[in-house]
Amino acid sequence: MSRAEKRREEIVTEISRLPLAVPGSITERMTRCQRPGCHCKADPPQLHGPYPTWTRRENGTTITRTLHDEDTEQLRNCLDTHRRLRQLLTELETVSAQIAEQSLTTHRQTQPPGNQHHQTGI
């Protein structure tokens, strides 16, 4: 087994053991409310927050959800897992291309060359 094939197996195994992975990011946002006379409308304004929010894309639409403080760390772990999954997929593509190249090279060395002249017929 080649080094690339061994690494491919390691990547696949690691992917299969990953916990929940979700895309997106967590940001903290400051907001204004709708109450007249609130300090968030003063000059200068004193905005409410910061509130942690999770933003992601789903079917071409941006979805933003305000989080409870106790959910933020759990979701942050899921986002970290998603980043790791993306890294592993990129590496898997690279390793798979290396394996394919090796396979093509081996195939060319073991097979007699075919018809190398292309005929055009109408």
**What torsion do the CA atoms of 46, 47, 50, 53 make, to the nearest 10 degrees?**
-170
Question: Measured between alpha carbons, how far is residue 41 from residues 31, 34, 35, 66 in Å?
Answer: 10, 9, 9, 21
Within its chain, how far is the Cα of 75 from the centroid? 15
For 65-120, the pLDDT digits (tens) are 999 989 999 999 999 999 999 999 999 999 999 999 988 877 666 666 665 555 54
Pairing between strand 48-58 and 25-31?
A: antiparallel
For 30-53, the pLDDT digits (tens) are 999 999 899 999 999 999 999 999
For residue 28, give both structure tokens: 């903290």
pLDDT of 122: 47
Q: What integer is the mean pLDDT of 6-17?
A: 98
User: CA 23 to CA 3: how far, in whole Å?
Assistant: 31
All structural domains of the chain with their residue ranges: 3-104
pLDDT of 105: 76
Q: What integer is the mean pLDDT of 54-64?
A: 96
Residue 26 scores a pLDDT above 60: yes
